[in-house]
Amino acid sequence: MGRIFNFSAGPAMLPEEVLKEAADEMLDYRGTGMSVMEMSHRSKAYEAIIQEAEKDLRELMNIPDNYKVLFLQGGASQQFAMIPLNLMKNKVADYIITGQWAKKAYKEASIYGKANVIASSEDKTFSYIPDCSDLPISEDADYVYICENNTIYGTKFKTLPNTKGKTLVADISSCFLSEPVDVSKYGILYGGVQKNIGPAGVVIVIIREDLITEDTLPGTPTMLKYKIHADNQSLYNTPPAYGIYICGKVFQWIKRMGGLEAMKVRNEKKAAILYDFLDQSKLFKGTVEKKDRSLMNVPFITGNTELDAKFVKEAKEAGLENLKGHRTVGGMRASIYNAMPIEGVQKLVEFMKEFEAKNL
Ligand SMILES: *Cc1c(COP(=O)(O)O)cnc(C)c1O
């Protein structure tokens, strides 16, 4: 059997070119006589890999010089604690709750200080992004937190909240490198790479230098201090070395594709194929407000749970896998990250048309 179109929300598809390159280098990485998996993270060969990865990411995202790039472990979820431990000087932070990931981050921050919910879309099962133009930002908030693209519900912030001068912290796990971004608007951007960049096990944190201080909350473990990782160029301990190597290959793939402007055009084109179909379908419908639709995660339903299950099963038989919605929301969800080819989305829509004709 050949490769399928994998619509998983994460871990998700990687570019085939990248997988093939990694396969070619598996036994002998460029004459070293070993795999990157077997290589010392202090070796010259590995230093070149991690430095090149950082350089390419900086170039792709146009990251200003006063920001550090950290390659860490613990997934996006570990950042839910690391952010308050490092940033909560006043022990106050404001959270905008647009889904489960933001909520989890909020709950974790509540362990360490006063976390305030300043806006939420939970009243309509997170199917929209609240108006964030004039929120009651706390006077002494150390930061304002958002989850920029809501992987489970399929919404995205199209404009960033007005933080009234406070530091913006954003979880960009599921929209990382999907379109250009102005890094200077954020204090921290971070994401687990298994959605849009690489293998699970790496989280990338892009952090403004003035937020990296010795002054963390009492009891903060050494491994959870941004400063220790920043001072050691992400090599304080053994990093997720192989994962970073694959991320580096994906950065180069994106550069070859034309960078983030080109990714945006491609992603908009893919998303439009699916949304345009949903908007005229008599069987399927999208579940979120049009203005807040994500380019990456597209949830939809038939309105009949048995028919949903039948769709997911028959789609799998047609080589379109992992279309089941998140266990907490049901229905379907197509995650169409950077590496999903346009043919995958076209094939999905063809299949949906046929399914509609047979089941309406
Ligand atoms: C997947 C995801 C997470 C959780 O990532 P882990 O690496 O499994 O901790 C957090 N936030 C968002 C937006 C996600 O999509």
341: CB partners within 8 A, 6+ apart: 5
Pairing of strands 155-156, 114-120: unpaired
**What separation in Å is there between the alpha carbon of 192 and the centre of ligand 1?**
6
Q: Which of 56, 101, 142, 324 is catalytic?
A: 101
Report the nearest-CA residue for atom 7 of ligand 1.
75
pLDDT for position 12: 97
Q: How many H-runs (helices) and E-runs (strands) does the chain carry?
A: 9, 14
From-to residues of CATH 3.40.640.10 in the chain? 16-256
Pairing of strands 144-147, 92-97: parallel
**Core vs surface per residue 146-175: b (16+ CB within 10 A) or e:** bbbbbbbbbbbbeebbebeebbbbbbbbbb
pLDDT for position 37: 98
pLDDT for position 360: 87
Which CATH fold topology does 16-256 show?
Aspartate Aminotransferase; domain 2 (3.40.640)
Q: Which of 195, 225, 270, 324 is catalytic?
A: 195
Asked if the 258-359 domain carries CATH number 3.90.1150.10, the reply is yes
From-to residues of CATH 3.90.1150.10 in the chain? 258-359
Cβ pair 39, 60 in contact under 8 A? no
- Residue 253 annotated in active site: no
pLDDT tens across the length of the chain (360 residues) = 689 999 999 999 999 999 999 999 999 999 999 999 999 999 999 999 999 999 999 999 999 999 999 999 999 999 999 999 999 999 999 999 999 999 999 999 999 999 999 999 999 999 999 999 999 999 999 999 999 999 999 999 999 999 999 999 999 999 999 999 999 999 999 999 999 999 999 999 999 999 999 999 999 999 999 999 999 999 999 999 999 999 999 999 999 999 999 999 999 999 999 999 999 999 999 999 999 999 999 999 999 999 999 999 999 999 999 999 998 888 999 999 999 999 999 999 999 999 999 998
Report the nearest-CA residue for atom 3 of ligand 1.
76
Rounded to two decimals, the pTM is 0.98
pLDDT for position 89: 97
pLDDT for position 166: 98
Instruction: Select from 240, 235, 184 the least CA-distant residue to 209.
Output: 184
What's the gap between Cα 224 and its chain centre?
Answer: 21
Distance CA 125, CA 353 (A): 28
* Nearest-atom index, ligand 1, CA of 75: 7
**What separation in Å is there between the alpha carbon of 344 and the centre of ligand 1?**
24
- Residue 276 annotated in active site: no
**What separation in Å is there between the alpha carbon of 74 and the centre of ligand 1?**
10
In the chain, the amino acid numbered 261 is E
Structure tokens at 47: 């230093």
HSE on the CB side for 212, CA within 13 Å? 18
pLDDT for position 1: 63
For 333, phi and psi rounded to 5 degrees?
-150, 125
Report the nearest-CA residue for atom 14 of ligand 1.
173
Ligand 1 contacts (CB < 6 A) are 10, 75-77, 101, 147, 151, 171, 173-174, 192, 195
- Per the rule left: phi > 0, alpha: psi between -120 and 50, beta: everything else, 165 is left
In 10 A of CB 344, how many CB atoms?
20
- Residue 195 annotated in active site: yes
Report the nearest-CA residue for atom 12 of ligand 1.
173
Q: Which of 171, 225, 292, 324 is catalytic?
A: 171
**Core vs surface per residue 281-316: b (16+ CB within 10 A) or e:** bebbebbbeeebbbbbbbbbbbeeeebbeebbeebe
Listed in order, strand segments (DSSP E) in 111-266 are 114-120, 144-147, 149-150, 155-156, 168-171, 188-192, 203-208
Cβ pair 321, 4 in contact under 8 A? yes
Q: Name the DSSP letter for residue 212.
A: -
**What separation in Å is there between the alpha carbon of 301 and the centre of ligand 1?**
23
Structure tokens at 21: 């390159």
**What separation in Å is there between the alpha carbon of 82 and the centre of ligand 1?**
14
* Nearest-atom index, ligand 1, CA of 147: 13
* Nearest-atom index, ligand 1, CA of 203: 7
Report the nearest-CA residue for atom 11 of ligand 1.
101
**What separation in Å is there between the alpha carbon of 102 and the centre of ligand 1?**
10
